[in-house]
Amino acid sequence: MAQTINFRPPSGAAPKTTTGAATRDSSCLIDSSRTDQKFSQTLPILPKSNYGLTFSERPAFPIFKTKTSAKQVFLSLESEDGENVYQNFLPLTTEVGFITINFPQDAPNLVINKKYKWTMAFICGKMLKPDSPSISGWIQQVPKSQSLSAKLKSASPVDRIAVYGENGIWYDMINELNQLKKQNPSNQTLSSAWDKLIKDHVVQQTKSATQNK
């Protein structure tokens, strides 16, 4: 690796005090059969602030998904001032582990410098209910300077991830690192970088998270 991948949290923060842990009855998002006690609950992969930046107007939302009966999620996106921007049901993969929920094709592009709260309610029964378990996070698209755009364009995949981290661009960094790690499963350097980012910055990753409802 030409660069070490580190994350420098940006100066901004989520406009409201929230947590990324599942809300209400989260039992269908908890896999009690996991013996390692690590990531036993479906969670958003976000920094401790529960807020992250992106350069993309159509980003993907990274989550850790446990084994669950849910086959759909209800994704909602609202602006910082509470305006409902998007709502729709999306299919949920049966895959377990670190996955991304792609930005829906029918959703409007993010507006630069505007903060949005996204919420995923998991349909664990036949329909969406007021007590359906959910996870949430904040996202903000920020502009790229001309010099940074040129730097990213000429960078190797690993160097590009490192540049994202240096500039506090969480969503792009974590999504591209996860993709690169999957493409190179035997690369211990990438795996170590991923594990360190998760350990240092993602807060709800231990057994205690299952108690936060």
Per residue in 161-186, pLDDT (tens digit) is 999 999 999 999 999 999 999 999 99
DSSP element (H, E) containing 60: strand 60-65
Report the greatest alpha carbon distance in the chain: 50
Q: What spatial distance separates the first Cα and last Cα of the chain, rounded to whole Å?
A: 40
Q: What average pLDDT does the segment 89-102 reach? A: 93
The answer to whether residue 62 scores a pLDDT higher than 90 is: yes
- Beta strand extents in 66-191 (DSSP E only): 72-79, 84-91, 97-102, 115-122, 134-141
* pLDDT value at residue 208: 32
Beta bridge pairs of residue 91: 72
C-alpha span between 119 and 20 (Å, rounded): 10
Q: What's the pLDDT tens digit per position in 134-170?
A: 999 999 999 999 999 999 999 999 999 999 999 999 9
Q: What would you report as the CA-atom Rg of the chain, rounded to the nearest whole angstrom?
A: 17
What's the whole-number mean pLDDT along residues 109-138? Answer: 92
- 22-60: pLDDT as tens digits: 445 667 888 777 655 556 789 899 998 899 999 999 999
* 119 and 136 Cβ atoms separated by less than 8 Å: yes
Q: Which of 72, 70, 140, 69 lies closest to 111, judged by CA?
A: 140
> What pTM, to 2 d.p., does this model score?
0.87
